[in-house]
Amino acid sequence: MIVTVTLNPSLDRAVEVDSLCRGEVIRAAAAHLDPGGKGVNVSRALLANGVPSVAVLPSGGDEGNQLIRLLKAEGVEVLAVPIAGRTRSNITLAEPDGTVTKINEPGPAMCRAEFDEVIDRVLVQAGGADWVVLCGSVPPGLPADAYAQLCRKLRAAGVRVAVDTSGPALREAALAGATLLKPNRDELAEVVGTPLKDLDDVVDAAQRLRAWGAGTVVASLGADGAVLVDAEGVRTGTCPVARPRSTVGAGDALLAGFLAAGAQGAAALAEGLAWGAAAVSLPGSRMPGPADLRRHDVTIHP
């Protein structure tokens, strides 16, 4: 069983448009409303493929209630912590060529007492978990090391911890000894403070995260695939998508697939790539199921 923690979840509305023209009235070709947030998406992807998962998250206002209803409708087991603020809403505009424009709200502030309640819920669930996955942005009101604080508690209890976040929170998670980090290219470049011009730069940046204290690093590179850097060495892989529809949640699906396949070695990287590519081929932030996966399209490079 895999426990996910999303401190800043959202309602995600994805709108498909023929073209995005500023200042004009645009007719939507289609629209989708999905539960959102990185950890939420990891749970959704896992459950869509028969892997047990529990999603721990804060919830506030009518939006928070709607988020919980959407998750339960998909069969996701939810442990919600009530907060005073209102759960945020995000908007994604998707064009036919795969271009995606995202408008993300900052999310509600979270106080220390609310965060402590989340920590308590997670520690209870972690006792029977294979992994705890800490995902997404840190909400206003909490320090940059919020995930790192939880990571240290879980590591002290012998629990494997995966973290997918960005900026100072990503650096703090590495310093806290996260078992696995899953940045994308931009997040990796930001945390090491240098542009990543080629694959060697990506590998060097991932090795720096490992030098700070992280175990394994899986860097998602969009259409260029992903890189796995761990104690065994470096592996890269790709999985092309013939008709991209939305990149929202693709990295989350990749992480879910990697964890579901054992989180180690080329086989896990290949599974993660298959899940991530399948998510790109679906509208909005839909998560792929077994029928969507095209494992034969994955190539793992030495």
Q: Alpha carbon of 129 to those of 13, 51, 156, 243: distances in Å?
A: 31, 12, 14, 36
Residue 252 is among the residues annotated as catalytic for this protein:
yes
Distance, first Cα to last Cα, the chain:
31
Catalogue the long-range contacts made by 272-278 (C-beta closer than 8 Å, 24 or more residues apart). 272/218, 272/226, 273/225, 273/226, 273/237, 273/238, 273/239, 273/298, 274/239, 274/298, 275/45, 275/49, 276/220, 276/226, 276/239, 276/250, 276/251, 277/239, 277/240, 277/241, 277/250, 278/253
| Strand, coil or helix: 270 | helix
**What torsion do the CA atoms of 262, 54, 44, 265 make, to the nearest 10 degrees?**
-10
E-strand stretches of 37-184: 53-59, 77-82, 88-94, 100-104, 131-135, 161-164, 180-181
Q: Give me the catalytic one of 120, 252, 292, 297.
A: 252
- The phi and psi torsions of 83 (rounded to 5 degrees) equal -130, 160
CA distances for 197 relative to 89, 212, 255, 284, angstroms: 34, 22, 23, 30
Let me know: does 180 contact 163? Beta carbons within 8 Å.
yes
Residues marked active site are found at 252
